[in-house]
């Protein structure tokens, strides 16, 4: 017996916001990082990478995530792994380490791979000079082939993404850029230490289009200090002027125990119901502007490949969010980066100097990982289908394995109008997408068995 789940979209009542605003994973992976078993040797990981490459990587190609962790200034809201410095002499030794790590993986793969995608993340990738980025990417590309429909993208800071950055990367095949905007209100920007005038964002956006970039994404965040409906209205008015192809509208994750700089503004954060109202307002503005909801946090114009992938049932989600790339293999290069080869995960050493030393000594700089068993793989597919397609077939063994508490939770969803159970089908109502993370967590057998680790996740709403 299989149970089919379908998801539609609408808003939540204040009572349900209070009930479901609990710590739950964002499900950029399954199992989520805090629940990996971490019994992973270098040899285990190399064997897993080799197996994945032989099974599907050779045909599909592989993607690369390259973590560039340096920033000149601290954005106090940020939860990324970063190093604050104005010393650009750090660029050369870090790039040397990245290339050494890539060379190690080439040895593991045994033959030149096809590159289906490259994403430069951070930190601030445009901290690096255009010449440094050109050197890094060209070296990688010379050692590999290109997949037919490759997709190269990078994250740019509007304040330091120059015309030269855009031109140099475009010449290498990059045609997608994501700008970290967060909010256009000056008071909000000052509170999170992310001051960037609208004119700089406009210049960076227009320069990208002039350089041939076909997709521009704006990262926006709701739930920031001093945000109100009025300030958000101003932000979306500015967004409408520039009309990027994609919008990522993220919930601010407040984790001051892990990121102490967040304590500087925590007395000015909107409360639960206020925060959800900010999201509903922002979503309504995006829909008015002609964007379509792709999935959790993500919106795109109707003719954007993300929208088309969703309509065609080909949307995928990984550590970078939603993607259209078919490649199941994602190798992470750089400090703290995460690799996902579908049948296994691994994360690199977070400390930059330690990472560089390990790679210099011809070691993969791994600190944790997880090899998925058959149960993990089925649940992973279930959760991905829920988040990407809005529907999934649930193998009966998963349903049968759920504790009574989780079955009761699903029955509660039904009583609250979030789910409808009929025969062997479970349909999520129009307000259910707001709690899709909560819904997925009821099928998360790893978390069910490790409830004490639940508090490490950000809140759902």
Do you know the residue count of the chain?
Answer: 461
61 is in an annotated binding site: no
Contacts 24+ apart (CB under 8 A), 232-235: 232/183, 232/185, 232/278, 232/281, 232/282, 232/285, 233/281, 233/285, 234/184, 234/185, 235/181, 235/183, 235/184, 235/185
Residue 182 assigned as binding residue = yes
Query: Around 441, how many Cα atoms within 13 Å sit in the side-chain half-sphere?
Result: 24
Annotated ligand binding at 221? The verdict is no
Residue 317 annotated as part of some ligand binding site = no
404 among annotated binding-site residues: no
Please indicate if the annotation marks 307 as binding a ligand. no
Determine if residue 71 is labeled as part of a ligand binding site. yes
Q: Which single residue is written with the structure tokens 């660029």?
A: 91
Q: How far separated are the first and last CA of the chain, in Å rounded?
A: 33
Q: What is the DSSP string of 2-31?
A: EEEEEE------HHHHHHH--B----SSSS
221: tokens are 């965040």
The candidate with the shortest Cα–Cα distance to 5, out of 447, 460, 434, 418, is 418
Strand duo 366-371 + 344-348: pairing: antiparallel
- Tokens read off for 352: 């930059």
Q: Please indicate if the annotation marks 388 as binding a ligand.
A: no
DSSP 8-state assignment for residue 56: I
Q: Judge whether 65 is annotated as a binding position.
A: yes
Is 44 within any annotated ligand binding site? no
- 243, β-bridge pairs: none
Tokens of 310: 């969703």
Task: For residue 78, say whether it is annotated as part of any ligand binding site.
Answer: yes
Residue 122 marked ligand-binding: yes
Q: Is 276 helix (H, G, I), strand (E, B) or coil?
A: helix
Would you say the C-alpha torsion 47, 52, 55, 57 has a positive or negative sign?
Answer: negative
The answer to whether 124 is annotated as binding is yes
Q: Output the known binding site for S-adenosyl-L-methionine.
A: 65, 77-79, 122-124, 155, 182, 194, 219, 253, 338
Known binding positions for [4Fe-4S] cluster: 71, 75, 78
Detail the residues annotated as belonging to a binding site: 65, 71, 75, 77-79, 122-124, 155, 182, 194, 219, 253, 338
């Amino acid at each position: 017996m299989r149970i089919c789940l379908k998801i539609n979209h609408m808003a939540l009542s204040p009572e349900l916001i209070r009930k479901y605003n609990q710590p739950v994973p964002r499900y950029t992976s399954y199992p989520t990082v805090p629940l990996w078993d971490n019994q992973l040797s270098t040899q285990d990981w190399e064997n897993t990478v080799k197996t994945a490459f032989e099974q599907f990587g050779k045909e599909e190609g592989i993607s690369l995530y390259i973590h560039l962790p340096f920033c000149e200034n601290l954005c106090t809201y940020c939860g990324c792994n970063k190093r604050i410095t104005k010393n650009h002499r750090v660029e050369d030794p870090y790039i040397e380490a990245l290339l050494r790590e890539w060379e190690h993986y080439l040895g593991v793969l045994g033959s030149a791979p096809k590159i289906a995608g490259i994403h430069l993340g951070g930190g601030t990738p445009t901290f690096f000079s255009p010449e440094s980025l050109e050197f890094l990417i060209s070296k990688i590309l010379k050692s590999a082939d290109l997949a037919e429909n490759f997709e190269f993208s990078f994250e740019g800071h509007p304040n330091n993404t120059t015309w030269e950055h855009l031109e140099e990367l475009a010449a290498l095949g990059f045609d997608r850029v994501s700008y970290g905007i967060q909010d256009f209100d000056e008071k909000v920007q000052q509170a999170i230490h992310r001051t960037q005038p609208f004119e700089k964002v406009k210049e960076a956006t227009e320069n990208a289009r002039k350089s041939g970039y076909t997709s521009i994404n704006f990262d926006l965040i709701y739930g920031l200090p001093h945000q109100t409906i009025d300030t958000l209205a101003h932000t979306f008015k500015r967004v409408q002027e520039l009309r990027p192809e994609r919008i990522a509208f993220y919930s601010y994750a407040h984790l001051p125990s892990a990121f102490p700089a967040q304590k500087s503004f925590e007395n000015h954060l909107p409360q639960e119901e206020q925060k959800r109202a900010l999201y509903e307002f922002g979503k309504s503005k995006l829909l008015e502007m002609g964007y379509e909801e792709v999935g959790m946090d993500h919106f795109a114009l109707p003719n954007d490949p993300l929208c088309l992938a969703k309509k065609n049932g080909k949307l995928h989600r990984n550590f970078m969010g939603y993607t259209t790339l078919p490649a199941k293999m994602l190798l992470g290069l750089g400090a703290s980066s995460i690799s996902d080869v579908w049948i296994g995960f691994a994360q690199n050493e977070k400390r930059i100097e330690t990472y560089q030393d390990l790679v210099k000594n011809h070691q993969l700089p791994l600190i944790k990982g997880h090899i998925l068993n058959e149960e993990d793989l089925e649940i992973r597919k279930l959760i991905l289908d829920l988040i990407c397609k809005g529907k999934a077939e649930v193998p009966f063994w998963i349903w049968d394995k759920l504790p009574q508490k989780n079955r009761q939770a699903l029955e509660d969803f039904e009583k609250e109008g979030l789910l409808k159970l009929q025969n062997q089908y479970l349909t999520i109502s129009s307000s259910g997408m707001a709690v899709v993370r909560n819904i997925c967590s009821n099928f998360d057998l790893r978390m069910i068995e490790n409830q004490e680790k639940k508090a490490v996740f950000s809140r759902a709403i």
